[in-house]
Structure 1
């Protein structure tokens, strides 16, 4: 059920992006659905009318 709600409406989440050395680059907060590609090197989501694409970084996503 939660997967369906996430896909249709998005969930309240915080996404934190880190570089290869473990340094925090950026933090995103809002209601969004996260899409990951099959190779694990790209994360995509839409937030506040903007499409966010993150390549080759560590992204930790927590549901609020």
Structure 2
């Protein structure tokens, strides 16, 4: 799934993304570390993976979207 980086705190390595419908979804340091990123800037397009079958998406991986 694709999203747009919305917030990012380099100290905690956590933040949030906006889904294409505008829904904000937070991510934690574990999801950030799983993607192998070192930095994330608001506005960057990202690819996320979420846990299946949960009412609220929980991001398990976040990485840059490449075309």
Q: What TM-score, normalized by structure 2, do the two folds share?
A: 0.38
Q: What TM-score, normalized by structure 1, do the two folds share?
A: 0.39
Specify which structure has the higher proportion of strand: 1
Look at both structures and tell me which one has the larger radius of gyration over its CA atoms: 1
